[in-house]
């Protein structure tokens, strides 16, 4: 079996890493080092670069480490093995074998992988789904995402259409903003504190920093009524997908139809040329439950379900990959 050289990420690989991400078949801007490192004080980075015998970079694994467990990735919405277009399945088997053997020999007994949903793939990239089966991986969580395929004939429900009409009747104003302050401080933070006793994953300072690094990928859209902000959505935009990172509105949303009005604009105009519109998960309790009201609202726009899998792989199982190919 072909052997690969595994290198733990260091700052000297910054450009090499980012260039690989830019040309990978299953990556987004979240794997860029500038995004991964905005919260580097919270995690021990243990990302891996996988080189062949000619010292060509063949794959990367965004990852963090806690004791004897490697996570791909604790601080991101998703992780997993990132590959380029030319890498064939046999090479992936050998790469995964090398990675698991390396981890096992370096005291890492478990690898937890948060798979990149298929809508973000530039081309088919389910190699790890198959290899997780071969490796006797444990499915430890499965989230459901509500997604609109914008290339199909989706329809809005009557309740969503009514909300959009209310928004028009109230004369609501739609704006894209470069500053996140009003949405964060007046809408998002108070809502999360009141309803969930929680805070946004990103502080205002962090989201502004990320916006400065990725101005075309991180976008803020707000709704105003008579000059006052009443709703907003933060969108993470990648090549094929518009993903809603935060959705929030004041308590008038049912009366004014602010969220229906806002997302109609995003779906029908702003992101109409994307392939997918991703509302994200409606799960609670580590994927065990679904917020029915939230799901109903998303499906009212024509969204339907895809899943994101979370696997735990024992690194000692790497020999199981040695006899896959006949």
Task: Give the largest CA-CA distance in the chain.
Answer: 69
Sign (positive or negative) of CA dihedral 154, 158, 163, 166: positive
Q: Which segments within the chain are labelled E, that is strand? A: 5-8, 48-51, 57-61, 64-66, 69-72, 82-83, 110-114, 138-149, 173-177, 218-225, 228-237, 241-249, 276-281, 283-284, 289-290, 304-314
pTM confidence score: 0.95
Q: Are 165 and 257 in contact (CB under 8 A)?
A: yes
Site of tokens 């395929």: 149
Count the residues in the chain: 326
Specify the pLDDT at position 268: 97
Q: Where in the chain is the domain with CATH 3.40.630.30?
A: 5-141+310-321, 152-274
What CA–CA distance (Å, rounded) separates 31 from 308? Answer: 17
DSSP state of 115: P
How far the first Cα of the chain sits from its last, in Å, is 13
Structure tokens at 268: 């029908």
Q: How many CA atoms lie within 13 A of 136 on its CB side?
A: 8
Q: Please tell me the predicted confidence (pLDDT) of residue 41.
A: 85
Phi, psi of 139 (to 5 degrees): -75, 105
Phi, psi of 282 (to 5 degrees): -120, 15
In order along its 326 residues, the chain shows pLDDT tens digits of 888 999 999 999 999 999 999 999 999 999 999 999 998 888 999 999 999 999 999 999 999 999 999 999 999 999 999 999 999 999 999 999 999 999 999 999 999 999 999 999 999 999 999 999 999 999 999 999 999 999 999 999 999 999 999 999 999 999 999 999 999 999 999 999 988 889 999 999 999 999 999 999 999 999 999 999 999 999 999 999 999 999 999 988 889 999 999 999 999 999 999 999 999 999 999 999 999 999 999 999 999 999 999 999 999 999 999 999 99
Output helix, strand, coil percentages for the chain, rounded to the nearest 5: 35, 30, 35
Task: Give CATH superfamily name and number for 5-141+310-321.
Answer: Gcn5-related N-acetyltransferase (GNAT) (3.40.630.30)
38 within 8 A of 24, measured Cβ to Cβ: no
Q: What is the pLDDT of residue 284?
A: 92
Output the pLDDT for position 235: 98
Which pLDDT score, from 0 to 100, does residue 254 have? 86
- Domain 152-274 sits in which CATH superfamily? Gcn5-related N-acetyltransferase (GNAT) (3.40.630.30)
Which of 257, 255, 277 is closest to 266 using CA atoms?
Answer: 277
Please give the pLDDT value at position 162: 98
Q: What is the pLDDT of residues 63-90, one digit of tens each?
A: 999 999 999 999 999 999 999 999 999 9
Q: Looking at residue 253, what is its pLDDT?
A: 85
Query: From CA 5, how far away is CA 3, in angstroms rounded?
Result: 7
């Amino acid at each position: 079996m072909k052997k690969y050289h595994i290198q733990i990420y260091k700052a000297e690989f910054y450009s090499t890493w980012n260039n690989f991400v830019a040309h990978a078949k299953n990556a987004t801007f979240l794997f860029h080092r500038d995004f991964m490192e905005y919260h580097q004080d919270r995690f021990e980075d243990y990302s891996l670069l996988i080189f062949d015998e000619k010292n060509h970079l063949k794959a990367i694994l965004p990852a963090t480490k806690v004791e004897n467990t490697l996570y791909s990735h604790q601080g991101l919405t998703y992780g997993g093995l990132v590959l380029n277009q030319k890498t064939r399945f046999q090479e992936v088997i050998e790469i995964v074998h090398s990675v698991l053997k390396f981890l096992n020999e370096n005291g890492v007994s478990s690898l937890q992988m948060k798979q990149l949903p298929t809508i973000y793939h530039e081309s088919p990239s389910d190699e790890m789904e198959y290899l997780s089966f071969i490796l006797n991986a444990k499915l430890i969580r499965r989230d459901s995402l509500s997604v609109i395929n914008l290339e199909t004939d989706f329809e809005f429900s009557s309740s969503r259409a009514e909300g959009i009409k209310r928004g028009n009747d109230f004369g609501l104003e739609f704006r894209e903003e470069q500053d996140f302050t009003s949405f964060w401080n007046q809408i998002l933070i108070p809502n999360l504190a009141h309803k969930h006793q929680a805070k946004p994953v990103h502080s205002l300072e962090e989201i502004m920093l990320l916006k400065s690094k990725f101005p075309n990928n991180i976008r803020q859209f707000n709704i105003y009524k008579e000059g006052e902000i009443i709703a907003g959505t933060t969108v993470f935009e990648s090549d094929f997908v518009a993903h809603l990172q935060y959705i929030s509105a004041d308590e008038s949303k049912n009366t004014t139809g602010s969220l229906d009005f806002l997302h109609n604009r995003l779906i029908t105009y702003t992101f109409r040329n994307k392939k997918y519109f991703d509302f994200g998960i409606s799960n609670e309790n580590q994927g065990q439950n679904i917020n029915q009201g939230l799901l109903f609202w998303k499906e009212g726009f024509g969204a339907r379900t895809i899943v994101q899998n979370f696997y735990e792989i024992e690194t000692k199982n790497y020999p199981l990959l040695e006899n896959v190919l006949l």
